[in-house]
Amino acid sequence: MNQKVLIVDDDIVVGTMLRFALEDKYNVATTTSAVSAFEYLSNKKVNLILLDIKMPHINGIEALEEINKIDPNVDVIMMTANLSNENKAKAKILGAYGFITKPFDLNELREYVDRALSKNDV
């Protein structure tokens, strides 16, 4: 349980649900804004970020740009209810590991997170 996952979603319910779904296997932290995620990343090493695209003030695409500056090696899975082709293209260009659409199946989410984190163990 030494791998750390940061969940960034302005919806506290979603963040809490994801934390409960992953905390049996990973060290999980949650934040509700991009700014608090930047602060967290400036002080702690994270292996994977689950990042909501639609957030107030700084959206997930803008946040991904800043995350790349703070830690270019961290993998980011983008989360959204509506994935536009424009956002998908931007996120891919910025190096997003992948995408998951809300509402998600928690088993699929766990498998996706496992895959993303296991590639770092090779």
For the stretch 25-71, pLDDT in tens is 999 999 999 999 999 999 999 999 999 999 999 999 999 999 999 99
Q: What is the pLDDT of residue 110?
A: 94
What are 79-107's pLDDT values in tens digits?
988 778 888 888 899 999 999 988 888 99
Q: What is the pLDDT of residue 122?
A: 37
Average pLDDT over residues 70-76: 94
CATH number at residue 24: 3.40.50.2300
| Range(s) of the domain holding residue 35 | 4-105
Q: Is residue 121 part of a domain?
A: no
Helix, strand, or coil (residue 68): helix
- Look up the pTM and report it: 0.93
Q: Is residue 112 part of a domain?
A: no
Residue type, 42: S
Confidence of residue 119 (pLDDT cuts 50, 70, 90): confident
Q: What is the pLDDT of residue 120?
A: 56
Residue type, 4: K
Q: Is residue 17 part of a domain?
A: yes
Instruction: Give, in order, the Cα–Cα distances in Å from 15 to each of 60, 72, 78, 98.
Output: 15, 23, 13, 18
Q: What is the pLDDT of residue 2?
A: 85
Residue type, 110: R
Backbone angles phi, psi at 27, to 5 degrees: -85, 115
Instruction: Give, in order, the Cα–Cα distances in Å from 62 to each of 38, 106, 109.
Output: 12, 26, 23
